[in-house]
């Protein structure tokens, strides 16, 4: 939002001076007042003044017709401000008193004047101008309003600044090698009168006649011509029985009123299709999303060997309350999910088939930030809270309630090389949940292994990376009506690659890696019903490992991560294993 900050050169610490002002080009008076270019609502600019101790700035000067202004500079006394004003097709230097009156034209011609600066004694107003056809430094002597040429260069001189003792002039020059910093004595006795006036304005031709209306016909907007998919990409994944292979694509119309993401696959081992489709309509407030999903899954707490076919459809409304530095979002969702047994459990412990009809309410807050060379969010935090209820009045065969939450925090590590940040990050996420219901496995939480979640959302929305993972253990090793989980990662870049293959829809940005530890447990906090707390005591389990990650861009527009990792449980038990996996997307 281009706010103003103060930097302490001795410590490197910064202090924020404005908030949401769209301010730039600041200058500071001796008493601490700030003059700056202020972009106002509607796109116009003004010279803003923020007095010491004032709660809000005031506009020192704004063109009544909306012409732009720029580059305010305080006089040594602090009582006047020189600035640039665009008018009549050219930029002029003008002076305004600090109290807002006594507007003075320092220049008023067809030249392109820029970079105003004052001499320390306030006798001269310096600026750069192309009035001779080449940009040189000029000085306006304010006592008699005479104009003097200070430099005589070949290719250009800009941004003059006189030293505090008034003996040296620093400025920027342009030459065959680009821009350079130059210095020369500041001696008014060597100035040359600027006798050459800028060339006269060339009369502008009359505006062209508008073409007939039928050349550019007006018609209602149709999103369909630009809504088709423009890319697709093959990928491999796993379901509850083994490997799946499929394709993924996405699309949106030119006005971005509609978008969709879709994946379809064939399960090699279970010999059946699967899909995941998300469509979002942005023409209204809130955003309306429709999803449908089919896959072969396992159920928390079911016996070994049990798998089920899950078919889901949801409709949700998302209410974003976004700001520049932070975002808030509230979402309402209704889901229908049907479960049917695919393979029976070896011990006969098969959860009942049926339909879950549930309503959810979610709140998400985030002020996390990442930068151009980041491998992860480096600053800020992210918080999510979700309540989910399934009940017979909603159409459900099961009745239960769930409450889950997660909190992630990102810490940028201070290591640098040659003054450049190395973008190492420590990331931590804490998650917890509790459920209560009809004691079916349908409402239990489970931990164990790496759960890639549904592919479309894990690829397209990294912040929704799966919460309930416990790497280094067998899949679904722990289940219960409550869970806690901590994930701690040290993330660091390895190599910038920045290359693609021909015009294929994949681009490799960089390689990075992480060392991690997951600590968590799923258990029964309630000592009643089918699952007894005495048989599921609370005991934390920890695993540790590492991942190699490749940051890629799919379909020319979709940044995500390809991840390969291994972890091992830090305990001796039947469910502590060497857990190796590959995944696409899903980095919190």
In this structure, is residue 9 part of a structural domain?
yes
Rounded CA-CA distance 31/238 in Å is: 67
User: What backbone phi and psi angles, to 5 degrees, belong to 456?
Assistant: -60, -50
Rounded CA-CA distance 450/583 in Å is: 9
Rounded CA-CA distance 418/422 in Å is: 10
Lowest mean pLDDT among 97-111, 210-224, 420-434: 210-224
In this structure, is residue 219 part of a structural domain?
no
**Domain match, 159 and 235 both:** no
Which run of H or E residues covers position 447? Answer: strand 445-447
Task: Give the position of tokens 């660091």.
Answer: 492
Res. 50 pLDDT band, cuts 50 70 90: very high
Whether residue 213 is predicted with pLDDT greater than 80 in this model: the reply is: no
**Domain match, 248 and 145 both:** no
Q: Residue 130 is part of which domain span?
A: 5-193
**Domain match, 165 and 263 both:** no
User: What backbone phi and psi angles, to 5 degrees, belong to 188?
Assistant: -55, -20
Whether residue 366 is predicted with pLDDT greater than 60 in this model: the reply is: yes
**Domain match, 279 and 177 both:** no
In this structure, is residue 201 part of a structural domain?
no
Check if the beta carbon of residue 318 is closer than 8 Å to that of residue 324.
no
- The whole-number average pLDDT for the span 18-22 is 88
Last residue of a domain, one of 170, 193, 216: 193
Check if the beta carbon of residue 132 is closer than 8 Å to that of residue 151.
no
> Which has the higher per-residue pLDDT, 314 or 450?
314
Check if the beta carbon of residue 453 is closer than 8 Å to that of residue 461.
no
Res. 198 pLDDT band, cuts 50 70 90: low
pLDDT at residue 81, as a whole number: 96
Res. 69 pLDDT band, cuts 50 70 90: very high
pLDDT at residue 460, as a whole number: 55
Percent share of the chain, pLDDT over 70:
93
pLDDT at residue 458, as a whole number: 61
pLDDT at residue 535, as a whole number: 61
Q: What is the pLDDT of residues 287-318, one digit of tens each?
A: 999 999 999 988 877 888 899 999 999 999 99
**Domain match, 250 and 189 both:** no
Q: What sign does the dihedral 351-353-358-362 (CA atoms) show?
A: positive
Last residue of a domain, one of 174, 193, 212: 193
In this structure, is residue 430 part of a structural domain?
yes
**Domain match, 178 and 277 both:** no
Check if the beta carbon of residue 239 is closer than 8 Å to that of residue 295.
yes
**Domain match, 398 and 268 both:** yes
Lowest mean pLDDT among 178-187, 310-319, 335-344, 448-457: 448-457
* Three-state secondary-structure class, residue 493: strand
Rounded CA-CA distance 259/289 in Å is: 10
User: What backbone phi and psi angles, to 5 degrees, belong to 457?
Assistant: -70, -30
Percent share of the chain, pLDDT over 90:
65
**Domain match, 295 and 393 both:** yes
Res. 559 pLDDT band, cuts 50 70 90: confident
**Domain match, 241 and 120 both:** no
Return the beta strands (E) in 98-189 as ranges: 104-105, 113-118, 124-129, 136-141, 146-149, 157-162, 168-175, 178-185
In this structure, is residue 200 part of a structural domain?
no
Whether residue 533 is predicted with pLDDT greater than 80 in this model: the reply is: no
pLDDT at residue 300, as a whole number: 78
**Domain match, 302 and 404 both:** yes
- CATH number for the domain spanning 387: value is 2.40.160.50
Rounded CA-CA distance 424/417 in Å is: 12
pLDDT at residue 280, as a whole number: 95
Q: How many domains does the chain have?
A: 2
pLDDT at residue 74, as a whole number: 97
C-alpha distances out from residue 155 to 151, 158, 179, 199, Å: 11, 10, 10, 19
In this structure, is residue 211 part of a structural domain?
no
**Domain match, 263 and 186 both:** no
- CATH number for the domain spanning 45: value is 2.120.10.30
In this structure, is residue 207 part of a structural domain?
no
C-alpha distances out from residue 240 to 296, 297, 298, 308, 540, Å: 6, 5, 6, 8, 25
């Amino acid at each position: 939002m281009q706010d103003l900050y103060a930097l302490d050169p001795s410590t490197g610490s910064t202090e924020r001076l404005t908030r949401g002002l769209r301010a730039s080009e600041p200058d500071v008076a001796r008493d601490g007042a700030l003059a700056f270019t202020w972009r106002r609502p509607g796109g116009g600019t003004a010279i803003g003044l923020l007095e010491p101790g004032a709660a809000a700035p005031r506009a020192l000067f704004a063109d009544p017709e909306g012409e732009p202004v720029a580059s305010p500079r305080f006089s040594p006394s602090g009582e006047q401000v020189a600035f640039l004003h665009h008018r009549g097709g050219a930029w002029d230097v003008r002076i305004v008193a600090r109290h807002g009156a006594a507007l003075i034209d320092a220049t008023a011609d067809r030249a392109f004047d820029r970079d105003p600066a004052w001499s320390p004694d306030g006798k001269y107003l310096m600026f750069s101008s192309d009035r001779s056809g080449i940009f040189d430094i000029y000085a306006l002597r304010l006592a008699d309003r005479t104009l003097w040429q200070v430099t005589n260069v070949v290719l250009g001189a800009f941004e003059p600044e006189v030293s505090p003792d008034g003996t040296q002039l620093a400025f920027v020059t342009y030459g065959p090698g680009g821009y350079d910093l130059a210095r020369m004595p500041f001696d008014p006795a060597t100035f040359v009168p600027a006798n050459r006036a800028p060339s006269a304005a060339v009369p502008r031709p009359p505006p062209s006649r508008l073409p007939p209306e039928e050349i550019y016909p007006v018609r209602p907007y149709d999103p369909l011509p630009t809504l088709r998919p423009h890319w697709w990409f093959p990928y491999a994944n796993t379901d509850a029985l083994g490997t799946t292979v499929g394709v993924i694509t996405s699309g949106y119309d030119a006005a971005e009123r509609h978008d969709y993401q879709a994946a379809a696959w064939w399960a090699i081992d279970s010999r059946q299709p699967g899909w995941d489709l998300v469509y979002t309509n942005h023409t209204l407030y809130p955003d309306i999303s429709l999803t449908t999903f089919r896959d072969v899954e396992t159920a928390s707490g079911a016996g070994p060997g049990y798998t089920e076919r899950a078919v889901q459809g949801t409709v949700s409304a998302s209410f974003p309350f976004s700001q520049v530095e932070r975002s808030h979002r509230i979402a309402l969702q209704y889901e229908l999910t049907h479960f049917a047994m695919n393979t029976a459990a070896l011990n006969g412990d098969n959860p009942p088939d049926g339909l879950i009809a549930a309503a959810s309410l979610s709140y998400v807050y985030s002020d996390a930030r990442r930068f151009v060379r980041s491998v992860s969010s480096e600053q800020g935090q992210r918080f999510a809270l979700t309540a989910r209820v399934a009940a017979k009045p909603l159409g459900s065969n099961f009745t239960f309630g769930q409450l889950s939450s997660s909190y992630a925090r990102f810490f940028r590590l201070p290591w640098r090389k040659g003054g450049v940040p190395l973008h190492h990050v420590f990331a931590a996420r804490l998650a917890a949940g509790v459920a209560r219901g009809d004691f079916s496995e349908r409402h239990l939480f489970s931990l164990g292994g790496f759960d890639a979640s549904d592919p479309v959302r894990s690829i397209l929305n990294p912040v929704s990376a799966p919460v309930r993972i416990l790497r280094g253990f067998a899949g679904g090793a722990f289940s219960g009506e409550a869970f806690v989980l901590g994930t701690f990662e040290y993330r660091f870049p390895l190599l910038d690659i920045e290359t693609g293959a021909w015009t294929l829809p994949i681009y490799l940005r960089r390689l990075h890696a992480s060392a991690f530890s997951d600590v968590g447990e799923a258990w029964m906090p309630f000592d009643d019903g089918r699952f007894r707390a005495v048989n599921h005591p609370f005991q934390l389990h920890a695993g540790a490992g590492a991942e190699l990650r490749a940051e890629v861009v799919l379909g020319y527009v979709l940044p995500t991560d390809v991840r390969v990792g291994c972890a091992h449980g830090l305990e001796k038990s039947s469910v502590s294993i060497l857990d190796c996996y590959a995944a696409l997307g899903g980095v919190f």
